Homo-oligomer: A and B are copies of this chain.
């Protein structure tokens, strides 16, 4: 299968690699491996990739591996900035009509965020302007889903997520909430700011070399889940962000954009523990029933 003589064409090499998967007992893995090889080879042939360019690619992946650790994930960042994550999301989304739209997970989610009660704050240290985030989790018919879980995380006004920082409270700007019997959730957050994805590694150099910027429009992350429903990974975007139409990771969908409404310090709806001027943001999340269970 792998013997290649002088009359061998590049296509013959591709065929030899595909044939090497003949013994694969997992049909899905064989399908994926075969398609990946065919498309990667077609890419190299189309651009007539040189050895020097191949080596640059090896170095890129090596550097991405070197900078990746428990809290920095350069490979997810690469997938995100090449639109690959949003594409995988779109493929899944075609099977999940009728619910709130999904978007990228991003590289900053971590498990084990603190469980917090209705209306409590995720702000454990000064992180920006306070925002009261509230809404309901609903099924596609508008019925509330009690006991749904919201795992939320966001950056502060230093543009960073807590996991990017060596110091500070690990639970700051993260929390897990459970909806009440009426499907409602509420928490105190801060208004997120636009920020740059980590651009001090190979992905940042790729963006600079290709004439792109590293900015993401301000947003809150959440994963919403409930028994019997498809888990939703999404964002709420700030309608006043500068980068809604040039997100470095192609994550914006218009249906996910919401307004942070300014509120005065003496507004009677001011949540407990909040001082001075604040914002409110209302958003519901619609989950669709799990497929075929």
Binding site for B on A (CB under 8 A): 1-6, 8-10, 13-14, 16-17, 20-26, 29-33, 35-51, 53-54, 58, 61-62, 64-66, 68, 73, 75-76, 79, 82-92, 101, 206, 209-212, 244-248, 250-255
- B43 near A39 with CB under 8 A, answer yes
A244 to chain B, nearest CB (A): 7
- A21 near B53 with CB under 8 A, answer no
Given A16-B83, A54-B88, A65-B61, check contact A211 B2 (CB 8 Å).
no
- A45 near B91 with CB under 8 A, answer yes
Which residues of B sit under 8 angstroms from A37, Cβ to Cβ? 82-83
- B84 near A41 with CB under 8 A, answer yes
CB closest chain-B residue, reference A50: B92
- A4 near B91 with CB under 8 A, answer no
- A91 near B3 with CB under 8 A, answer no
A39 to chain B, nearest CB (A): 4
Cα(A95)–Cα(B155), bound, Å: 52
Which residues of B sit under 8 angstroms from A36, Cβ to Cβ? 43, 82
CB closest chain-B residue, reference A210: B24
- Sample (23) of A-B pairs whose CB atoms are under 8 Å apart: A2-B248, A4-B253, A6-B101, A6-B253, A9-B90, A10-B90, A13-B90, A17-B83, A17-B250, A20-B212, A20-B250, A23-B210, A24-B209, A32-B53, A35-B47, A44-B87, A45-B87, A49-B88, A49-B91, A51-B88, A58-B76, A61-B64, A61-B65
CB closest chain-B residue, reference A22: B211
Given A1-B245, A4-B253, A73-B62, check contact A88 B24 (CB 8 Å).
no
Given A5-B254, A211-B23, check contact A35 B29 (CB 8 Å).
no
